[in-house]
């Protein structure tokens, strides 16, 4: 009995030891999680910094509001070609005690966790006494203050290069084509690439362009448009197709309504098969994405065209049974799209079908 009791005591002690917790861990600091990297550029004679604000703390709780936000800047001259680049660091720039931007209570009240914040300052104000022909590297970091904690460590640095003002493209214009909306412009100088931006009416241009045209290219066609919608375009010139390179002011904007004025291509390879009681027609299908169907036309060799299908047929065949023996009938087929009113192509190459005479009826001889 005593032996059984001793075993039971040892088992209970072992179970208690399995559930024993380790030393308590310190709570996570009340700092925000690392937000997506900021984006920065020189646009004209202005520096633009776009921040994506954090939405959560490191312990997983949502951020309800910001008690403080400071933006810091560090400036370094870009070395000449062939020399080592200037390194950037996650450590706070020297002299951070005087931030370039310390948001006021009213500005903090307008911040939305997970939203965006834009800082715009002049290049001259950011660089101070500088060489206007030289290039500089500007590095920005941000610190946040949340309820219940101190100032967070600096965010990942974002860097841009400044330089002489880049001239903007001129004469930005847009036309609608069957393939989309085509933009054209006049370049402001040799070696300038062109960044293309698009937005909806009443919206704002995104930070990143939708496409970049190579130096010497002065047109761009946007195929990702929908008929019946309005789009707004802008363009910036840049000397180098690389992140953070200086850009020009925005050219435009130009607003264009995407309307389809372009008919489908005429149907091809129309064939006619004559059989007793009718004519079967066949043709090749069109490739247009907005193709609605086909209209079938008929005429006598010296007559006018008559529409046989007021409602377009969706397939690529049609049977005409309203024919008379001995006639030569000419057929043609056109294509229509889904626009209102629809755009109609010319008729494709016609085809002639000669309907044979009915065979004579043999009379039986009377005996």
Q: Which fold has domain 271-354?
A: Immunoglobulin-like (2.60.40)
Q: Could you tell me the pTM of the whole model?
A: 0.67
- pLDDT tens for the 367 residues of the chain, in order: 455 544 444 444 444 445 556 566 666 677 899 888 899 999 999 999 999 999 999 988 999 999 999 999 999 988 866 545 444 444 444 444 568 999 999 999 999 999 999 999 999 999 888 887 788 999 999 999 998 888 999 999 999 988 889 999 999 999 998 778 999 999 988 889 999 999 999 999 999 999 999 999 999 999 999 888 999 999 999 987 666 789 999 999 999 999 888 899 999 999 999 998 899 999 999 988 789 999 999 999 888 999 999 999 999 999 999 998 888 999 999 999 988 889 999 999 999 999 887 666 566 656 5
Per the DSSP assignment, residues forming a β-bridge with 295 are 334
The residues near 325 (Cβ < 8 Å, ≥ 6 apart) are: 355, 356, 357, 358
CATH of domain 170-257: 2.60.40.10
Specify the domain boundaries for CATH 2.60.40.10 within the chain.
170-257, 271-354
The H or E element that residue 158 is part of is: strand 158-162
Q: What is the DSSP letter of 68?
A: E
Task: Report pLDDT for 91.
Answer: 44
Virtual torsion, Cα 182, 184, 190, 193, nearest 10 deg: -40
CATH architecture, domain 39-162: Sandwich (2.60)
Listed residue (321, 242, 241) closest to 281, CA to CA:
321
The H or E element that residue 278 is part of is: strand 278-282
**HSE-CB of 342 using CA atoms within 13 angstroms:** 18
Own/partner long-range contacts of 25-28 (Cβ < 8 Å, ≥24 apart): 27/59, 28/57, 28/58, 28/59
> In this structure, what are the phi and psi dihedrals at residue 262, rounded to the nearest 5 degrees?
-115, 120
| DSSP H helices in the chain | 2-18, 105-109, 123-127
CA distance linking residue 140 with residue 159, whole number of Å: 6
- Angle, CA of 170, 175 and 177, to the nearest 5°: 140
């Amino acid at each position: 009995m005593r032996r059984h009791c001793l075993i039971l005591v040892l088992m209970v002690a072992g179970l208690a030891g399995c559930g024993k917790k380790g030393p308590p861990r310190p709570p996570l600091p009340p700092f925000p999680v690392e937000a997506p990297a900021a984006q920065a550029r020189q646009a004209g004679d202005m520096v633009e910094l776009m921040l994506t604000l954090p939405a959560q703390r490191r312990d997983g709780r949502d951020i309800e509001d910001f008690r403080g936000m400071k933006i810091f800047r560090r400036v370094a001259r870009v070395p000449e070609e062939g020399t080592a680049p200037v390194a950037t660091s996650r450590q706070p720039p020297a002299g951070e005690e005087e931030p370039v931007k310390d948001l006021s209570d009213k500005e903090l009240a307008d911040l939305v966790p997970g939203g965006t914040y834009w800082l715009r300052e002049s290049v001259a104000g950011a660089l101070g006494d500088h060489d206007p022909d030289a290039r500089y590297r500007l590095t920005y970091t941000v610190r946040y203050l949340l309820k219940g904690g101190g100032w967070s460590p600096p965010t990942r640095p974002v860097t841009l290069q400044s330089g002489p003002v880049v001239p903007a493209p001129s004469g930005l214009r847009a036309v609608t084509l069957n393939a989309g909306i085509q933009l054209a412009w006049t370049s402001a100088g040799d070696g300038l690439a062109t960044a293309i931006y698009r937005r909806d009416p009443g919206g704002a241009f995104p930070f990143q362009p939708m496409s970049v045209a190579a130096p010497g290219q002065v047109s761009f066609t946007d195929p990702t448009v929908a008929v019946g919608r309005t789009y707004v375009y802008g363009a910036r010139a840049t000397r180098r197709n690389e992140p953070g390179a200086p850009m020009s002011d925005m050219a435009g904007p130009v607003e264009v309504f995407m309307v389809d004025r372009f008919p489908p291509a005429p149907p091809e390879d129309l064939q006619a098969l004559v059989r007793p009681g009718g004519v079967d027609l066949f043709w090749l299908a069109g490739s247009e994405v907005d193709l609605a169907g086909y209209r079938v036309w008929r005429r006598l060799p010296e007559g006018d065209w008559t529409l046989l299908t007021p409602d377009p047929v969706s397939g690529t065949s049609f049977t005409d049974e309203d024919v008379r023996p001995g006639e030569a009938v000419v057929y043609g087929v056109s294509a229509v799209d889904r626009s209102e009113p629809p755009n109609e192509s010319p008729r494709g190459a016609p085809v002639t079908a000669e309907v044979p005479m009915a065979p004579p009826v043999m009379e039986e001889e009377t005996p």
